[in-house]
């Protein structure tokens, strides 16, 4: 009998929640276009507005400040723009400062010209260097426009939590805007856009256990908004044209409700299991390097290096053992490359790393199965590395 595969790649995409699946199926039966004024259209619109309230509740925002998109990448490209409006008055953002550990969707700079994009360094522990950010903002040329800063709340590879509130205070002192990628933090950390001091949050449905193809840009208010990325019929109050995807939005909302309900109850047990896994990894392979240890991390993530084992080789080896994990971010189909996060932390670019990420349904026996595979691969890593 073939053993069931073990899924430990929740940061890439979380398994679809039963309640999200049910919500999607129910939404499939809704006939109307949400922009239509007849009864059928109004029924879809009511569902979307209820979903908007659910997503807003997950991050302490008002429902009117949630803009649905096709995913986090679209939300990032929408918000990272030099062209804004304050009411009806045009406003220019002169320069974008992004942390060196951002997801490529943010790190590429959206609609900012490359000449108006600067990188904020991080410490050896993978934490944004606040002093370096202060220096960059002190040098910012206000004649070009206001500064924009983009810092993720929790890194998708290491899980390291960033000092968002501290960064927000600094950004406000310089009259800038703060964009926070909360994709990995949502459902794993308490989110409150006001308390964080962020101007915008980026969310993704499928990281929460909702369907792929839905995300949101959450705004602190409605006065200061970027120029639309997608033009057309003026849906989402003119901020994002195109008929909304009711099926994906319904599943997104169900996942957001579940994440909010389970946040407090589940986070400690998941972190405890992750810590147990890391302790045992060190016992079975004392030279293993676990990145971000000793710093605040989201409790489901462990990013580790086995010296002498390439990332892509290790990922294949675990896959052959029936374990699905990642060699860093799953940002490009079939692509395994050097981790820009490790490079930013001052580590050898060729070092490589493997990311284990778990969730509420991960059991102790799953951890034991992973550790058995880990011990086997660690013991024969030299031979495995030669094959590559």
Task: Please check whether residue 214 is in contact with residue 248, taking contact to mean a CB–CB distance below 8 angstroms.
Answer: yes
- CA pair distance 93, 112, nearest whole angstrom: 9
| Tokens read off for 227 | 């120029």
Alpha-carbon separation of residue 51 from 66, 116, 187, 274 (angstroms): 10, 36, 16, 32
Q: Which position among 24, 219, 331, 386 bears the catalytic label?
A: 331
Q: Coil, strand, or helix at residue 357?
A: strand
E-strand stretches of 231-315: 289-291, 301-305
C-beta neighbour count of 242 within 10 angstroms? 15
- CA pair distance 99, 15, nearest whole angstrom: 29
The DSSP code for 157 is T
Q: Coil, strand, or helix at residue 375?
A: helix
Q: Which residues contact 68 (CB under 8 A, 6 or more apart)?
A: 48, 51, 52, 214, 215, 216, 236, 240, 244, 245, 249, 252
Nearest to 218 by CA among 243, 241, 191: 191
Is 331 part of the annotated catalytic residue set? yes
Give the strand pairing for 301-305 and 215-219.
unpaired
- CA pair distance 372, 262, nearest whole angstrom: 30
- Give catalytic residues, as residue numbers: 331
């Amino acid at each position: 009998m073939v053993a069931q595969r073990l899924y430990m790649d929740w940061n890439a995409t979380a398994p679809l929640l039963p309640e999200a699946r049910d919500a999607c199926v129910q939404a499939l039966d809704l006939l109307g276009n949400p922009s239509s004024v007849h009864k059928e259209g109004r029924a879809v619109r009511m569902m979307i507005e209820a979903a908007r309230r659910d997503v807003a509740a997950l991050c302490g925002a008002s429902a009117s400040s949630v803009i649905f998109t096709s995913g986090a990448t679209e939300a990032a490209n929408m918000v990272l723009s030099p062209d804004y409006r304050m009411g009806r008055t045009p406003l220019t953002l002169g320069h974008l400062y992004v942390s060196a550990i951002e997801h490529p969707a943010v790190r590429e700079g959206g609609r900012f010209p490359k000449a108006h994009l600067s990188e904020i360094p991080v410490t050896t522990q993978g934490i944004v260097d606040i002093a370096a950010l202060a220096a960059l903002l002190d040098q910012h040329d206000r004649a070009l426009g206001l500064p924009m800063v983009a810092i993720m709340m929790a890194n998708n590879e290491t899980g390291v939590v960033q000092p968002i509130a501290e960064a927000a205070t600094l950004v406000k002192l310089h009259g800038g805007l703060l964009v926070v990628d909360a994709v990995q933090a949502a459902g794993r950390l308490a989110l409150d856009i006001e308390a964080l001091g962020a101007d915008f949050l980026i969310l993704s449905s499928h990281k929460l256990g909702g369907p792929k193809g839905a995300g949101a840009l959450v705004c602190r208010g409605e006065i200061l908004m970027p120029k639309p990325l997608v033009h057309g019929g003026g849906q989402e109050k003119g901020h994002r044209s195109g008929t909304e995807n009711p099926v994906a939005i319904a599943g997104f909302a169900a996942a957001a409700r579940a994440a909010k309900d389970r946040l407090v109850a589940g986070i400690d047990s998941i972190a405890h299991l992750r810590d147990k896994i890391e302790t045992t990894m060190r016992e079975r392979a004392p030279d293993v390097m676990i990145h971000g240890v000793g710093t605040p991390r989201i409790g489901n993530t462990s990013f580790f290096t086995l010296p002498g084992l390439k990332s892509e080789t290790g990922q294949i080896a675990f896959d052959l053992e029936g374990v699905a994990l990642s060699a860093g971010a799953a940002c490009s189909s079939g692509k395994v490359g050097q981790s820009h996060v490790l490079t930013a932390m001052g580590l050898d670019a060729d070092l490589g790393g493997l990311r284990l990420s778990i969730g509420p349904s991960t059991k102790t026996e799953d951890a034991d199965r992973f550790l058995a595979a880990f011990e086997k691969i660690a013991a024969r890593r030299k031979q495995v590395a030669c094959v590559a």
